[in-house]
Amino acid sequence: MGSRRTKNVLVLTTAAAAATLLLGGCGSGAGQGEATGQPVAPAASPSASSSASGAAEPTSASSSPAPIEPATGSGPALCKAAGLTASTDATGGGAAGSVYMELILTNSGTEPCLLRGFPGVSLTADANGEPIGAPAVRDASSPVTDVVLAPGQAGTATLRYTQAGNYPDCSLTEAAGFRIYPPQDTASLFVAGPWDACSNADIKLLTIGAFQAK
């Protein structure tokens, strides 16, 4: 009897323990189910987070400079013979049979105008006569610049005249002055003055530079 009672007590104790374990296991399983019922997203790596954050940041407006707008405006018109007066200044002297002078064009109009480049220069028999001999050769060593002349202002170009007597084969002809064509103009001005010219066009007595500001 004692032994059977002891076995019954052990069976009951074992059953109670098993029931306790079963209840504990069910409680634990419910908790895991609540935690795992929704899928858990993997944690983002630091590089992925940084990349996503960088993609979301707006680009700074100052990262690229604004384009520079080109200047507008047509500027002053080219100087024309009708709005200019011409003169020469030979006080620059001479050397080796040449005379250096300044050819001066002055704006006699009421609006600014632009001188740019080389004038055309020839020796001529009179104000309306034909040129005598070869026209002036351009001196390429002088820079071409924009010379804006306000009313009353002048631009100058260096004019060199070589003495006709330097050339034994010169067909000597008396000239009454210089015929002057402003750059890009077909009308001309006249500067009076007695000069010896060579009628043969292969002899070049004149050299002219580009206009510069006075």
pLDDT greater than 90 at residue 74: no
Specify if 73 maps to a domain.
no
Q: Which of 75, 73, 79 is nearest to 109 (CA)?
A: 79
| 10 occurs within a structural domain | no
In a domain, 63, yes or no: no
Interatomic CA distance for residues 76 and 78, integer angstroms: 7
The answer to whether position 172 is within a domain reads yes
Which segment of 68-72, 75-79, 102-106, 112-116 scores lowest on mean pLDDT? 68-72
What is the tally of structural domains in the chain? 1
Average of pLDDT values for 97-123?
97
CATH code at position 163: 2.60.40
Is residue 120 in some structural domain? yes
Q: What range defines the domain where residue 152 resides?
A: 80-213
Average pLDDT over residues 140-167: 95
The pLDDT score that the predictor gives to residue 10 is: 42
DSSP structure class, residue 151: T
Q: If pLDDT is split at 50, 70 and 90, which confidence band does 35 have?
A: very low
Could you tell me which residue, 2 or 76, shows the higher pLDDT? 76
Rounded to the nearest integer, the mean pLDDT of the chain is 77
